[in-house]
Amino acid sequence: MQFGIFSVSDITTDPTTGKTPTEAERIKAIVTIAKHAEEVGLDVFALGEHHNEPFFSSSPTTTLAYIAAQTTTLQLSTATTLITTNDPVKIAEDFAMLQHLADGRVDLMLGRGNTGPVYPWFGKDIRAGIPLAIENYALLHQLWREHVVDWEGKFRTPLQSFTSTPRPLDDVPPFVWHGSIRSPQIAEQAAYYGDGFFANHIFWPASHTQRMVKLYRERFEHYGHGSADQAYVGLGGQVFMRKNSQDAVNEFRPYFDNAPVYGHGPSLEDFSRETPLTVGSPQQVIDRTLKFRDYVGDYQRQLFLMDHAGLPLKTVLEQLDLLGSEVLPVLRKEFAALKPAHVPDAPTHASLLAAKNAEQAEKKEEVQA
């Protein structure tokens, strides 16, 4: 199981102090957070993509490349790469470049985002969101696997004898997770290609996540990629911890009550009951997270949201310390003990390269025979 954190890159006023960090402060803070994630033993850092205030991450590959230069083991990913409004050619080239710079420590999560105006800003129609996601990814998939591409579709100019550069590292494309909150079409897309499916999970009840993951697993098996329980599933999660659970509730409440997304809505208690948000002690986070397996099965990646809603950098780093020292060792041990041997780990560049080399060796043996 891979464990990590993801950021949506919001710049939010701290409701307890009235202070709003500058863009420069938040950008530098996210680098500090990513580096500390590696220091406490986490596996993955993922950064979102937004092109509007109050978010700063309009170019996640730039930020991730800077983080790659200052880390050694951290898997770098995106919390959303906008497959609908980005040019697939640019995605292919940007992530292949990042792959080389990070020595393969790269994958990405594709999604449609949650900001409607981004579509006309990039010359797209939001009503074509799903068709854009399907066609653009089909092209991206082809660009990474074919050296010379001839292509024609509905949403961009045709390509004739085109080669994206640089080529993927070791001719192994980055692994792709398809992220979704509510769209069964995206679960179907992930299953069709044998890619990963990442359920956002932080705003919806368990029953919704269970249905989405079940659909993806069934279709993964239908397309012949393996049994349903071998499909690649990732989940989001949201936690805030202190040694004493009531201290966590008291400290986090003003941030929750004023958060841009869910503030001034349901109570902290109601939201915690109806969604995976866990505010309490490290043991409560452990117990809640282990229960995710009850309704999604064995899964490969768990990412936590920890730096949002105006929480100051000092607090986020403290949260990471608790996660690394008290939560992570227990979760690793318990999930490993529960996972059957035939369920694969999350793909990495090393594992994908090994699989490619094994396949080529097998084909060579067949030809020689």
pTM of the full predicted structure?
Answer: 0.95
Write the pLDDT tens digit of every residue in 162-178.
999 999 999 999 999 99
Lowest mean pLDDT among 31-45, 47-61, 69-83: 47-61
Average pLDDT over residues 97-118: 90
Q: Which amino acid is at 253?
A: R
Could you report the per-residue pLDDT of 320-348, keeping only the tens digit for each?
999 999 999 999 999 999 999 999 999 99
Confidence of residue 137 (pLDDT cuts 50, 70, 90): very high
Question: For residues 303 and 5, is the Cβ–Cβ distance under 8 A?
Answer: yes
Judged against a pLDDT cut of 70, whether residue 4 lies above it is answered with yes
The C-alpha atoms of residue 236 and residue 295 are separated, in whole angstroms, by: 14
For the four alpha carbons of 73, 176, 237 and 9, in that order, the dihedral sign comes to positive
Contact 174, 99 (CB under 8 A): yes
**pLDDT score of 114:** 67
For residue 10, give the DSSP letter.
B
Cα dihedral 258, 202, 70, 320 in deg (nearest 10): 70
Q: What is the distance between the alpha carbons of residues 258 and 269, in angstroms, rounded to a whole number?
A: 15
Q: Using the 8-state DSSP alphabet, how is residue 228 labeled?
A: G
Which helix (DSSP H) or strand (DSSP E) does residue 162 occupy? strand 159-162
Single-letter code of the amino acid located at 83: I
Q: Convert the pLDDT of each residue in 265-311 to its tens digit.
A: 899 999 999 999 999 999 999 999 999 999 999 999 999 999 999 99
Contact 147, 167 (CB under 8 A): yes
What domains appear along the chain, each with residue ranges and CATH number?
A: 2-368 (3.20.20.30)
| Residue 118, SS3 per DSSP | helix
